[in-house]
């Protein structure tokens, strides 16, 4: 076999071979299925055992799938991503994956690798157009990974979800281009249920619909649209003339702040143009999926924004996420994750931790105020009120519905 068709690490076929012989394989075999595979958490393997062991995992996986998918094209595309074109029917493919899983367990017991690894796979009928075939199989693999299953064969229903996602992304791109967003506002209340001069701003479509329902948030982030939305929202809010002392909380994703300088640079420019009057703007940063390696840059950015007299809030705070940010930033507000405080209602240990966190915040700074969103019932309100000792803000349907905001 020509060297240009061999993957340097695993010694199996590479993507160049797949492209070269794909149509020939289809013509040769009556049944042909295209399968995409990748590891369930390959990064954790490299982080735990090192890249040399990570390479060993790839080599062993390549050997195993090549062994059991006989008379098939088995290729490593890049990283931990593999593709298979096979003549085996669906029931046979399922049997083969069981054999693969069995051998993975065996080589772990033999100490060839440190621990069992898992992978996800998705398939579709192999069609002459390799790119569209790969796209379908890749989405089935993504579905399998998302739903924590080994293997997902092609489903019209699942594929329709992908097409709906594509339509949503195109529409969102148009919203950004036309600046056709609308906004909703939700008031905040104190422990005495008195409305405060501070509101939370939520970005909506031109018809007032949420952009972030049904897992759309991760989709927008994946396709780099979330940062554009965050920037556009910020521009629109800053453009509003401040006729009152009402403060506005605008939520942005942490990636929107640290992956590029657009938001920071715009705030800096706006501050100069408005003669340093951005004191009523509060930037709330969603840290729900932040990795520790990103903490230093985010902390630096938040402290720079604080020096510009902006209010700073961290969103989705819980007992394991955000403590380092909290300790090293001069925050104005902390939004407690609703999953966290609702769990505390039914778990005394979590309640104890949350109570101590609130006490720590109060002890360190009397100006730092925790915020509890999504209060739905009097029972929830009374629970939070009981552990915050009056120093907290609340919002949710228990107090009021969202209202549309006129720009």
Q: For the domain that residue 99 is a member of, what is the CATH number?
A: 3.30.70.270
Domain contains 93: yes
In a domain, 97, yes or no: yes
- In angstroms, rounded to a whole number, what is the distance separating the alpha carbons of residues 74 and 132? 18
User: Structural domain of residue 34, as residue ranges?
Assistant: 3-154
Same domain, 97 and 194: no
**Is there a single domain that holds both residue 186 and residue 71?**
no
Where is the domain boundary, 131, 154, 177? 154
User: Which whole number is the average pLDDT over 119-134?
Assistant: 96
pLDDT band per the 50, 70, 90 thresholds, residue 130: very high
For the residues 75-100, what does the mean pLDDT come to? Answer: 94
User: pTM to 2 decimals?
Assistant: 0.77
The residue out of 133, 154, 175 marking a domain boundary is 154
Among 96-105, 133-142, 188-197, 254-263, the range scoring the smallest mean pLDDT is 254-263
CA distance 184 to 271: 24
- pLDDT at position 233 is 92
Q: What is the pLDDT of residues 185-215, one digit of tens each?
A: 999 999 999 999 899 999 998 888 888 876 7
Q: If DSSP codes are grouped into helix, strand and coil, which group holds residue 313? A: strand
Same domain, yes or no: 344 and 222: yes
Q: What percent of the chain has pLDDT over 70?
A: 96
What is the domain count for the chain?
2
Q: Tell me the DSSP string of 40-75.
A: SSHHHHHHHH-HHHHHHHHHHHHHHHHHHSTTSEEE
Helix-then-strand count for the chain, H and E: 15, 15
Q: Residue 283: is its pLDDT beyond 70? A: yes
The C-alpha atoms of residue 138 and residue 93 are separated, in whole angstroms, by: 17
User: Contact 90/140 with Cβ under 8 angstroms?
Assistant: no
Torsion of CA 55, 61, 67, 69, to 10 degrees: -130
What does the pLDDT average to over 154-180?
Answer: 93
143 and 263 both lie in a single domain: no
**Of 123, 154, 185, which residue constitutes the final position of a domain?**
154
* Beta-carbon contacts of residue 266 (< 8 Å; ≥ 6 apart): 231, 234, 235, 238
């Amino acid at each position: 076999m020509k060297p240009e068709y061999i993957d340097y690490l695993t010694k199996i076929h590479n993507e160049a071979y797949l492209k070269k012989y794909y149509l020939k394989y289809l013509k040769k075999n009556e049944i042909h299925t295209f399968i995409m595979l990748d590891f369930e958490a390959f990064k954790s393997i490299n982080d735990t055992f090192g890249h040399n062991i990570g390479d060993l995992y790839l080599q062993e996986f390549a050997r195993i799938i090549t062994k059991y998918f006989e008379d098939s094209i088995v290729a490593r595309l890049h990283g931990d991503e593999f593709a298979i074109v096979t003549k085996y029917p669906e029931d046979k493919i399922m049997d083969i994956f069981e054999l693969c899983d069995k051998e993975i367990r065996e080589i772990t017991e033999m100490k060839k690798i440190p621990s069992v690894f898992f992978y996800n796979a998705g398939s579709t009928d192999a069609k002459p157009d390799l790119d569209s075939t790969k796209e379908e199989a890749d989405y089935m693999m993504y579905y399998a990974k998302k739903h924590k299953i080994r293997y997902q064969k092609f489903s019209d229903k699942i594929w329709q979800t992908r097409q709906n996602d594509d339509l949503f992304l195109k529409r969102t791109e148009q919203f950004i281009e036309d600046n056709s967003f609308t906004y909703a506002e939700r008031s905040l209340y104190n422990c005495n249920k008195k409305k405060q001069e501070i509101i939370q701003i939520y970005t909506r479509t031109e018809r007032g619909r949420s952009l972030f329902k049904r897992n759309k948030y991760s989709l927008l982030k994946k396709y780099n649209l979330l940062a554009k939305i965050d920037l556009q929202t910020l521009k629109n809010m800053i453009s509003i003339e401040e006729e009152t002392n009402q403060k506005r909380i605008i939520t942005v994703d942490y990636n929107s702040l640290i992956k590029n300088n657009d938001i920071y640079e715009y705030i800096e420019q706006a501050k100069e143009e408005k003669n340093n009057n951005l004191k009523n703007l509060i930037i709330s940063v969603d840290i729900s999926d932040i990795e520790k390696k990103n903490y230093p840059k985010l902390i630096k950015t938040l402290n720079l924004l604080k020096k510009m007299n902006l209010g700073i809030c961290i969103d989705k705070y819980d007992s394991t996420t955000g403590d380092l940010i909290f300790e090293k930033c001069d925050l104005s507000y902390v939004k407690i994750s609703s999953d966290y405080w609702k769990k505390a209602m039914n778990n005394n240990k979590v309640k104890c931790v949350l109570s101590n966190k609130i006490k720590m915040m109060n002890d360190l700074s009397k100006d730092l105020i925790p915020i509890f969103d999504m209060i739905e019932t009097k029972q929830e309100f009374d629970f939070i009120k009981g552990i915050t000792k009056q120093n907290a803000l609340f919002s949710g349907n228990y107090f009021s519905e969202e209202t549309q905001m006129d720009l």
